[in-house]
A and B are shown apart, each in its own frame.
Chain A
């Protein structure tokens, strides 16, 4: 009864939410809208993860410079996700391969693992298509952007 550390301390049920990102950033509002909803979802203490596949992998590539477009570069915000306890960013290997990208082209997105003496760990996990499909099939809710 007094276990206030439990993930469902407020009596709610913790569900697995995955945000599925499949669009390149900046051309449409999908990526930035997804990120906004992800940040909102962090307030609800749910098990949140992000998936990047197809052109969505471009959302987290390094060195995005939107100055020539006259729009805000929101990509640094992904690096803040760890502070909101969003620490699972799955990137599909095949999507990277098809676009000539490697894991080295992605931003370094880290989180501090409070269960491991606050050691810094990478949030980005490159997974194969089969593993990503399996992860998607294990979610309670899939939100597509």
Chain B
């Protein structure tokens, strides 16, 4: 009964990511896409929240969105898995439902 949560807005911009973290259930996956990937950097201020989510969820980020924003893979928080578009499709297929946090 797991859910794939997609977040597309920067966590510096609005509360979609925070609200997503507040509503995930154990076993869910969070996928950062579009502008939300800016929150995935190691030195950024969302490390603690993402670390907490990693305790019972998978957290992924869409690699083409990272690359497009000049965020190198080795600067992404440990524990975040990078996926390509094919991986995005796999995640959507592996979960019972998708919830888009707009």
Contacts and interface: CB of A to CB of B under 8 A. Distances in A.
Interface of A: 20, 22-23, 30, 53-54, 94, 129, 132-134, 136-142, 144-145
Interface of B: 1, 3, 15-16, 19, 22-25, 28, 96-102
Contacts of A133: 22-25
A137 B27 CA distance: 11
Contact of A140 (B19, B28, B97, B101): B97
A144 B102 contact: yes
B15 A54 contact: yes
Contact of B1 (A94, A138, A145): A138
19 contacts: A22-B16, A23-B102, A30-B102, A53-B19, A54-B15, A129-B23, A132-B23, A133-B23, A134-B25, A136-B3, A136-B23, A137-B25, A137-B28, A139-B97, A140-B96, A141-B97, A142-B100, A144-B100, A145-B102
Nearest to B98: A142
A55 to B, nearest CB: 9
B19 A54 contact: yes
Contacts of A94: 22
A134 B28 CA distance: 12
Nearest to B24: A133
Contacts of A141: 97
Given A20-B99, A137-B3, 7 more contacts: A30-B102, A129-B22, A129-B23, A136-B3, A136-B99, A141-B97, A142-B98
A22 B19 contact: yes
A22 B16 CA distance: 9
Contacts of A132: 23
A110 B97 CA distance: 30
